Amino acid sequence: MGIEIFKKHMRERRAVKIIAGINNYDLDNVAKVCRASQMGHASAVDIAAGKEVYEIARKNTKLPIFVSSVHPFELLEAAKMGADAIEIGNFDALYKIGQGYSASEVYDIVLETMGLLNSYDIFTCATIPGCIHITEQIELARKFEILGVDLIQTEGLKVVSNSSNPSAQLVSYAEATIANTLELSHHTALPIMSASGITPQTAPLAFASGACAVGVGSAVNKLDSEVAMSATVMSVVSSIAHRNSIYHEIPTTKRELEMI
């Protein structure tokens, strides 16, 4: 079924993409992330561009595979290899090595990629960098819609914190991407996937803010064991299912309210 699984979960507002990392070429780690994603019932996995990485992913999961890069020709090669989807971006990991992107640079990358992929029927997601002002993010989202992008991914902006509590820092990080998700959902018709700082605790907040999918990276790919990875994936998926069950139990129509 390929990408149709992910698209179905998007429509049901419960899609979970597990991100191995745009610059993660550790084949053993990628294999663990892929297996854990499937065992934890995720909707898709996201890997770095590269033949070996792609082959390892294909051997270790039946889930739809996103391939991430900021280089258009790498994404073209991914489409040729048979990737289910491409991700233009996933900039978070690149900020850590000193790479930053302006709105105009990101637009140019997306424009070139969409041109190269014109003859390929492939699902396309583009990341809107969290380091640019929200007005620029909104403008980019509108431009991506015109270009034919299928999904946009939001990011947060990592703020240097004095807190020694890693969990507190992660929540702070997630707050920014969720705020961006909420704002963008009011200004674009494109579906939105929230990434950056997403955990079992913050995933339901992303969906409540207008996301139809979440991207989970370091909360999974930085763990040491495959068991821990799959448990975390399952926790994210379960937190969304729990949120949905509560939502459906809340009376929303006048007749439902009168029956209480």
For the stretch 183-223, pLDDT in tens is 999 999 999 999 988 999 899 999 999 999 999 999 999 99
- What is the bridge-based pairing of β-strands 65-69 and 44-48? parallel
The tokens 């509590």 sit on which residue? 165
User: What are the structure tokens assigned to 25, written together?
Assistant: 């070429």
The beta strands (E) that lie in 181-230 are given as 192-195, 213-216
Yes or no: say if 97 and 70 are a contact pair by the CB < 8 Å rule.
Answer: no
Report the pLDDT value the prediction gives residue 1, as an integer from 0 to 100.
64
The tokens 């850590």 sit on which residue? 96
Report the pLDDT value the prediction gives residue 256, as an integer from 0 to 100.
34
Distance from C-alpha of 83 to C-alpha of 55, rounded to nearest angstrom: 10
Residue 252: other Cβ atoms inside 10 A: 9
Ramachandran assignment for 21, one of left (phi > 0), alpha (psi -120 to 50 degrees), beta (any other):
left
Yes or no: say if 198 and 173 are a contact pair by the CB < 8 Å rule.
Answer: no
- Residue 45 backbone dihedrals phi, psi, to 5 degrees: -125, 155
CATH architecture of structural domain 3-258 = Alpha-Beta Barrel (3.20)
Report the pLDDT value the prediction gives residue 241, as an integer from 0 to 100.
80
Q: Which of 165, 164, 158, 196 is nearest to 178 (CA)?
A: 196
H/E element, 245: helix 226-249
Which parts of the chain register pLDDT below 50?
160-163, 245-260
CA 208 to chain centre: 16
Report the pLDDT value the prediction gives residue 62, as an integer from 0 to 100.
97
Report the pLDDT value the prediction gives residue 251, as an integer from 0 to 100.
42
Ramachandran assignment for 13, one of left (phi > 0), alpha (psi -120 to 50 degrees), beta (any other):
left
Report the pLDDT value the prediction gives residue 100, as an integer from 0 to 100.
76
Whole-number Cα distances in Å, 224 to 46, 142, 203, 219:
19, 40, 22, 11
